[in-house]
């Protein structure tokens, strides 16, 4: 038998192939580490009860061997798939590990919920049994580590939930499967504890996260939410780094925010299963089991006996009864965010937005036909107005300068400088939290350099061309010519520069500069080590990333910016605001921060740059345009001793 099967590939066994005492009937699926086949016992051919055989794709696979140990000995339970035997193939001592288990005929948890559309009471019962099963396994030191709807099957014969696929499972005393900080698992179902470990220490400490009951129970809570709402707490389509930050720090929507049919008590239990802090979620599976069953005592009986979703009628393709499908609830549009930063919006002036709202305005409002005529006239005259203003206004300004000479307005009459763009907001202004008297001094202002424009200077362009003719004498038949220095010459020069020759604007890029010595001293005292840094919300004016894929990008422009730390770093706590500037004219986006303000109002001088590398900045995302760069709303920053601008290569810019 060994010679006949040695040439076969483990992921492509044809029907009739014998693996030990089992004969392959059909292939059920292939994954990254193993292939699953429907098999029968060669000693009882044609039996109605087919089994499932899982064959490792590589000999000596530690995952396959561990799964055998778990199913055969440590994880035996009525709600865990039953084990029947194991061995190696094709060589009995050095071949691929395989094991045989029940072939559970049933649907994954989420498919079952959307296909059968059971009652909330039945759903809570299934969830309670799963929680109790996990609790009992945890008591034996066994952890599934990949609890998700696909690994929870609802058996057709009796409707009981069954846990399957312990391929990345773990038990006390087992050797680690990998050397990575986090064990194998599904990103959007990892616990807040695991994600905080990754964000705070796992990326650079070399330590490994210790899985516990909270990891399986959080994944169960997220899976139950997916089944009862049609959505995960955080979308799997989000980038992995954004998912990590949101799971670690963001409060997810309550299930009732998605599906209004959910009883409030059930929604509260599921929301508590997703709590961020260890002291706020359930301690073990038994406590979750009791909470789910007790929740049914609250609320009306009719609400608990109602189906999970509303049914939606579907037009039948032919004769017969029209099929039905559930109406999946929409994702909530209101984002759930942490506490507001210490930056507040001041109310707008009472007159803002109220112009033309009184009775007089309504009485004078033009009719629709008249408004349409006005719109047509305005469109036809728009270019004339723009060109006229472009010619006249600069000329008037130059004329005023010409006649005013060196006169300057007194200091008291000068206008106050306007707020930076990052501190403006529609309908009001943004005020910073007051600084305490003991606040540290800010770092030196970020230096800037002006890059000369590629175009020739405007003055050189004006004088280029044929020489000017002498003014002609004014006669009754000739048009008057303006003398040198008159308004006519000013207007003519301005028109030539601004209309015919397109004024060139200078680009701004960051200059290389050392972090001030006093700032480096403060950073050392705060434990802010160079070449490391926290994760931040890029621009608090644009808000935090939402739970959907289209809420992950921020649009930044050159100028001031305020960011917010999502995790603590050194002695700077979570929620610290960072003040700095961004530069978007280059191929990448560069940002420099020179001041940090903690939630209690204290400020410190700092030196941080955008990105993981002090020189490279951040790559622009698709959709970026000149002056408006798209980057992620959640990005890393790096503490530095020197601000360095890496000039992009010419070939990189051309690409």
Q: Express each pLDDT in 436-451 by its tens digit.
A: 333 333 333 333 333 3
Q: What is the pLDDT of residue 508?
A: 58
Q: Crossing angle for the helix pair 264-273 and 213-229, nearest 10 degrees?
A: 140
| Alpha-carbon dihedral sign for residues 85, 90, 92, 93 | negative
The band of 502, judged by pLDDT with boundaries at 50, 70 and 90, is very low
The band of 239, judged by pLDDT with boundaries at 50, 70 and 90, is confident
Which whole number is the average pLDDT over 219-230?
97
Query: Which tokens in the block code for residue 288?
Result: 């979750």
DSSP state of 144: -
3-class DSSP state of 468 = coil
The band of 614, judged by pLDDT with boundaries at 50, 70 and 90, is low
Q: What is the pLDDT of residue 624?
A: 87
Which whole number is the average pLDDT over 549-571?
82
Which whole number is the average pLDDT over 201-222?
86
User: What's the CA gap between 193 and 207, in Å, rounded?
Assistant: 14
pTM for the predicted model, two decimal places? 0.58
Question: Looking at the domain 2-102, which fold is it?
Answer: Phosphorylase Kinase; domain 1 (3.30.200)
User: Percentage of residues in the chain with pLDDT exceeding 70?
Assistant: 66
Most confident residue range from 4-8, 375-379, 391-395: 4-8
Which whole number is the average pLDDT over 2-26?
84
Q: What is the pLDDT of residue 568?
A: 85
Q: What is the largest CA-CA distance in the chain?
A: 124
Residues 511-654, CATH architecture: Beta Barrel (2.40)
Q: What is the pLDDT of residue 205?
A: 59
Which whole number is the average pLDDT over 23-32?
91
Evaluate if residue 82 carries a pLDDT over 90.
Answer: yes
Do 2-102 and 511-654 fold alike per CATH? no
User: What's the CA gap between 189 and 330, in Å, rounded?
Assistant: 21
551: left (phi over 0), alpha (psi -120 to 50) or beta: alpha
The domain limits of the chain are 2-102, 106-313, 449-459+487-505, 511-654
User: Percentage of residues in the chain with pLDDT exceeding 90?
Assistant: 42
User: What's the CA gap between 538 and 590, in Å, rounded?
Assistant: 12
Decide which of 81 and 408 is more confident: 81
Q: Express each pLDDT in 336-390 by its tens digit.
A: 444 333 333 344 333 333 334 344 333 344 444 444 444 444 444 444 444 454 5
Domain 106-313 has CATH 3.50.20.10: no
Decide which of 60 and 229 is more confident: 229
User: What average pLDDT does the structure give for the chain?
Assistant: 75
């Amino acid at each position: 038998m060994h010679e006949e099967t040695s040439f076969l590939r483990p992921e492509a066994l044809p029907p009739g192939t014998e693996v030990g005492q089992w004969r392959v009937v059909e292939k059920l699926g292939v994954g990254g580490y193993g292939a699953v086949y429907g098999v029968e016992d060669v000693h009882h051919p044609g039996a109605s009860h087919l089994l499932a055989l899982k064959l490792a794709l590589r000999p000596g696979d530690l995952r396959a061997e561990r799964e055998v140990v778990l199913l055969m000995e440590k994880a035996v339970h009525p709600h865990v798939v039953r084990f029947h035997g194991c061995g190696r193939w094709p060589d009995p001592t050095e071949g691929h590990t395989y094991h045989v288990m029940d072939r559970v005929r049933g649907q994954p948890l989420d498919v079952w919920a959307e296909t059968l559309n059971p009652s909330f009471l039945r759903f809570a019962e299934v969830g309670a049994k799963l929680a109790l099963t996990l609790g009992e396994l945890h008591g034996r030191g066994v952890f599934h580590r990949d609890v998700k709807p696909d690994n929870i099957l609802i058996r057709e014969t009796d409707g009981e939930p069954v846990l399957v696929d312990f391929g990345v499972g773990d038990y006390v005393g087992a050797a680690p499967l990998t050397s990575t900080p986090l064990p194998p698992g599904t990103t959007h179902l990892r616990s807040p504890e695991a994600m905080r470990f990754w964000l705070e220490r796992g990326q650079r400490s070399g330590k490994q996260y210790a899985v516990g009951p909270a990891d399986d129970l959080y994944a169960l809570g997220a899976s139950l939410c997916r089944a009862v709402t049609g959505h995960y707490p955080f979308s799997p389509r989000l980038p992995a780094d954004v998912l990590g930050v949101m799971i670690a720090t963001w409060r997810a929507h309550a299930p009732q925010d998605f599906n209004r049919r959910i009883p409030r008590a059930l929604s509260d239990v599921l929301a508590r299963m997703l709590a961020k802090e260890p002291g706020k979620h359930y301690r073990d599976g038994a406590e979750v089991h009791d909470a789910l069953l007790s929740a049914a005592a609250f609320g009306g009986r009719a609400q608990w006996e109602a189906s999970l979703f509303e049914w939606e009628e579907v037009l039948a393709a032919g004769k017969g009864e029209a099929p039905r499908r559930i109406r999946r609830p929409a994702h909530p549009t209101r984002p759930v965010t942490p506490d507001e930063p210490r930056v507040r919006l001041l109310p707008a002036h009472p007159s803002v937005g109220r112009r033309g709202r009184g009775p007089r305005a309504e009485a004078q409002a033009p009719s629709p036909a008249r408004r349409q005529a006005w719109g047509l006239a305005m469109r036809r005259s728009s270019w004339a107005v723009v060109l006229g203003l472009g010619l006249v206004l600069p000329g008037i300004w130059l004329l005023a300068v010409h006649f005013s000479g060196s006169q300057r307005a007194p200091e008291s009459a000068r206008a106050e400088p306007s707020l930076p763009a990052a501190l403006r907001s529609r309908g009001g202004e943004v005020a910073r939290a007051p600084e305490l008297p003991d606040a540290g001094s800010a770092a030196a202002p970020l230096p800037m350099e002006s890059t000369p424009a590629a175009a020739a200077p405007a003055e050189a362009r004006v004088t280029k061309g044929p020489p000017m003719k002498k003014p002609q004498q004014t006669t009754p038949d000739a048009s008057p010519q303006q003398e040198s220095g008159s308004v006519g010459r000013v207007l003519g020069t301005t028109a030539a520069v601004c209309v015919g020759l397109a004024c060139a604007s200078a680009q701004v890029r960051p200059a290389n500069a050392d972090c001030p010595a006093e700032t480096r001293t403060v950073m050392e005292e705060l434990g802010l080590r160079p070449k490391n840094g926290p994760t931040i919300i890029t621009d608090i004016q644009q808000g935090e990333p939402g739970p959907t894929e289209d809420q992950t990008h921020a649009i930044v422009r050159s100028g001031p910016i305020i960011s917010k730390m999502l995790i603590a770093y050194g002695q700077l706590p979570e929620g610290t605001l960072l003040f700095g500037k961004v530069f978007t004219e280059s191929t990448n986006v560069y940002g420099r921060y020179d001041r940090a303000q903690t939630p209690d109002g204290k400020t410190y001088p700092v030196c941080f740059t955008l990105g993981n590398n002090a020189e490279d900045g951040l790559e622009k995302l698709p959709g970026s345009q000149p002056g408006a760069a798209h980057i992620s709303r959640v990005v890393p920053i790096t503490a530095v001793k020197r601000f360095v601008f890496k000039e992009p290569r010419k070939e990189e810019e051309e690409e």
